[in-house]
Structure 1
Amino acid sequence: MPEIRDAQVVVFDVLGTLVDEPGGLRAEIRAAAPAADDTAAGELLALWQRHVETEQARMARGERPYADSETVDREAAELVAARAGVTDPAAVDRLATATRRLPPWPDSAAGLDRIARHFPVAGLSNASGPALLHLAAHGGLRWHQALSGAAVRAYKPAPEVYRLAAQAAGCPPERVLMVAAHAWDLRAAQENGLRTAYVPRPVGDPPAATDAFDWHFDGLEGLVQALTAE
């Protein structure tokens, strides 16, 4: 079993692992449609999520040409606005960029900062490059490079996205540590030769009994300690 500090580069999933994607989207929906109660906001959030998942799956099957996350988010925002009766173009435009303003988890910024003092750190996301730029600025997230699946015109868990991370790291895949709160993400990273570390989040996808990731932590602090302890 390798030591976790044998990693040369640490790569983080972003949506869900470093930021609260559903919570942030729900807040943005409530801002765009203030008349929506909690039940209605939940239904609108589900509509958004279904659209994104459906369109990404269609692209993966070759049924739709690749479109980046901000294009798909705008489609989702327009669907949500139509369902909620929001007609103000400025409100729809702001909702379409909701991913740029997702709130980080309380420990994300400090944890990233501490790891980034010891390792090169990258974000690896299905979010577009512009979304990642604004998201990092909004949440105070420190990474040395933001890698978007848009660079290879694919969405995780497509193998091309994990190969992008290894290529950007400039080292063998087994020296790249992928950190995520989603078991599906870590499974794909593992299949493409990356080391894997699971960190739980309230909106994550927990490992199954059959998963054999390299490391499991109770929270981000455990990962930080393992990577930075002298």
Structure 2
Amino acid sequence: MAKGSVTGGTQTVTVSTLLFDVFGTVVDLHGSLNSATRSVLSANGADPEQAQPLVETWLTNLNDLMTDVRSKRAAWTSHDALTSDALHHAVTVLGMENLPRQALRNLASATHRLRPWPDSPRSLGTLADSFTVVALSNASLAGLTRLSAAGGLRWHCVLSSQAVKTYKPDPAVYRLALDILGLDPRTTMMVAAHEWDLHAAAEHGVATAFLSRPGEARASSPGAFDVQARDLSDLADQLAGRRLP
């Protein structure tokens, strides 16, 4: 594999392996779930305009549940189970308990069918020609496998936090990738659309690339990361333009 030399801030870093967050970074989490939720609500006589508040409440609940597991306030529970629990709680909070159970089961599994951002399949393929590309996600291995296959996402390896029974940003998840793949942090870069993910990864000495995505938060401090890219295509162009012979 080739290496890319990237100048960011006051230093130049050389990378050969790219670790990717998936939800929100490579696939459109909010847009996909909003679309799936609107369909379920419409099909069951509910107001489709309630899709966005339902999804927002659902994802907030899911984040809270993962935080409880990470902080040891709750026992390890799989991402798929937490996703289902968070959805059922959101439905109750918003007074939508009349939705059929099968409809809710189908909606909970929508995290296995998240749409890639339009640039993701091609750009990942381009990067995979020159770098080792690895998915590092809180999602279940089953979910990652299915959405990657359906979305044409090319990885050299897919890693789920379920292997260490916790969730990012727990340090154990980043150590999982470094240790199991025998990676040198100095030649590894974490790519994400979330600052918290990048800051946690940086604690392990890896380089960082912030990716802007619609619906995700903007970088609050320009220059805080080694690379900032408009999208995955821009990241591929930046790394390609700095590839060493």
When normalised by structure 1's length, the TM-score is: 0.92
In 1, Cα distance between equivalents of 2:89 and 2:183: 43
Q: Match for 1:184: what amino acid? A: W
In 2, Cα distance between equivalents of 1:220 and 1:127: 20
Aligned to 1:148: 160
Aligned to 2:140: 128
Q: Any idea what the Cα deviations from partners look like across 1:134-176, whole Å, max 9, x if unmatched?
A: 1101211111111111111111111111111212332211211
In 2, Cα distance between equivalents of 1:78 and 1:194: 38
Tell which deviates more after alignment, 104-113 or 81-90: 81-90
Map of 1:149-188 to 2, 5 A cutoff?
149-188=161-200
Structure 2 contact 18–132 (Cα < 8 Å) conserved: yes
Q: Any idea what the Cα deviations from partners look like across 1:59-87, whole Å, max 9, x if unmatched?
A: 12211001111011111233345542444
Q: Specify the SS of the correspondent of 2:208.
A: strand
In 2, Cα distance between equivalents of 1:211 and 1:163: 25
In 2, Cα distance between equivalents of 1:68 and 1:79: 17
Q: Any idea what the Cα deviations from partners look like across 1:107-140, whole Å, max 9, x if unmatched?
A: 0010001101111111111101001001101211
Structure 1 contact 81–92 (Cα < 8 Å) conserved: no
Structure 1 contact 114–228 (Cα < 8 Å) conserved: no
Alpha-carbon RMSD across the aligned residues, in angstroms, is 2.0
| Bigger proportion of residues as strand | 2
| Bigger proportion of residues as helix | 1
Q: Match for 1:171: what amino acid? A: L
Tell which deviates more after alignment, 127-136 or 79-88: 79-88
Moved over 4 A (4+): none
Percent sequence identity over matched residues? 36
Deviation for aligned residue 1:53: 1.3
In 1, Cα distance between equivalents of 2:212 and 2:21: 12
Aligned to 2:70: 60
Q: Any idea what the Cα deviations from partners look like across 1:153-203, whole Å, max 9, x if unmatched?
A: 111111111111212332211211111111111111111211101110012
In 2, Cα distance between equivalents of 1:221 and 1:46: 28
Q: Match for 2:85: what amino acid? A: E
Aligned to 1:15: 23
Q: Which of these residues, 107, 118, 121, is aligned with residue 109 of structure 1?
A: 121
- Number of residue pairs matched by the alignment: 229
In the alignment, structure 1 residue 89 sits paired with structure 2 residue 91: no
Aligned to 1:75: 85
Contiguous gaps of at least 5 residues in structure 1? none
Contiguous gaps of at least 5 residues in structure 2? 7-12
